[in-house]
Structure 1
Amino acid sequence: MSVSNERESPIKAVGGATFLGLTGLFVGVLLSIIALGLLNPFVTIRQGSGLSNAVTLVAQGAGLVGVGVVYLSMRELSASYLRLSWPSARDVVWSVAATIGLFAVLAGLNFVIQQFGLSSAGHSVAEQGQENPALLLPLIPLSVLVTGPAEEFLYRGVIQTRLKEAFDAQAAVFLAAVVFSLVHVPAYGMGGLDSSLATTLAILFVLGAVLGAAYEYTGNLVVPAIAHGIYNAVVFGSIYVEATGIF
């Protein structure tokens, strides 16, 4: 079934996008609890261990993809709705450019944060990794194989495209980035809802907007998926290197 050219109600589109984002988060958490429970009788999995984090990450990725697939199925939408195709040489170049852009934007934002004397909240897993760097090792490849593709599948491929049914591309990128940042509250809000969390959500919003812009410009979901995955992998890798003092 093709998508109608008639504009959807903005309120309905925003509500639907928010619902999909929150549902993806909830289903991911639920699947991680189920997966850990099913594996426990066969493998000893300590809470906060590398294996526990890896299983949780994969389960959460499955939740995001599962919610997106159910949504596409319910609306009888084909994979073309996601604008997903095998990357061309141009797409590979833009994937690299988007990855560099993410780090450039992050550096700029960190500079601004320092100038204003602000602080940002730390990711719960990253903070665990600083204490026990081995926890980060499985997350580096899984960032590329699971996190980047799964999050971009739902938040850009499904949600941002859904928002384009009611808004222009710029507004869709903006709103999808808002949803993307807000669903990260559980990962960064361990210290409570304070100014450091607000700063972190603002950073995530801008990074999400960069990924959304790359998606719209290239018209291929693979581009932000690659950039997102490599970005996360490099972040985890740099924390590992710093924590272990390799360099």
Structure 2
Amino acid sequence: MYTSKDLQKIFRIGRETIRYYEKIGIIHGKVNATKYHYYDDLDIENLARILKYREFKFPLQQIKKLRSANHISDFQFVLTNQIKHLKSEIRIDEILETRLTWKMNELVAYSKGRKSFIKDDFYYDLAYSEEHGFAGNDKYPNFTNLSKTSDFPFSDFIAFTKITDNDELSFTNGGTAISKGIVDNLSIETNQLVHHSFDCIYQSYRVISQRMNDTLNIHPEVALLNKLHYQICNCPYVRQIAILKNKRIVQLNIPVNKSI
């Protein structure tokens, strides 16, 4: 027979972990008259197996399913699902690394004053509008549909604008956006998201106030686009690159068409 201290020494785990595994029925200690918990060889084997599965990142509920499987097919089913989960985790980590690299490259583009024409294709989740205020719940109103599907790390904050005759932009609504490429790669649900696709975007960078209550003058961009024979064809929008103490660094995106 083995005591809790024996198990702690053998497996290098804490007493609380042993008690928790016992509480949820993964191991079954026996209690003697003095209320000490004792464990037998089968408990040792079970605990070793549990810790081994934990190294493979199995959730405890899945470990319980493995221990209660009556048929090989049941066992294979749990293993297959975990393999899929691990592959998904690898893919997610790769995308997160790509996202951080993209942000670093955008900061370099900002520091160099880079300007370019690109395509843009993303799904948008409205969080705030001038007319209705925040669209989410009281607990966390800033982010709605994306946060419910745990996709927020893959998203950007985007704010749409309206343009005046004086080439000034005022912000009308904002929310989170996730690129179509990521949506397709991770099979993200898009039923509650709005799809935006632009064949040609003129892209530059600006610094704006953190509160976003000022207008943004884009006369230099408009003048350049006219010179290059482009016309604005849709509402400009900004994608947040970084938020600092009193300001935001944003990517300014102006949908355009080539003039005939």
TM interval, shorter chain, is: under 0.3
**Which protein has the bigger strand share?**
2
Q: Which has the higher contact order (CA 8 A, sep 6+)?
A: 1
Q: TM-score normalized by structure 2?
A: 0.23
More helix as a share of residues: 1
State the structure with more CA Rg.
Answer: 2
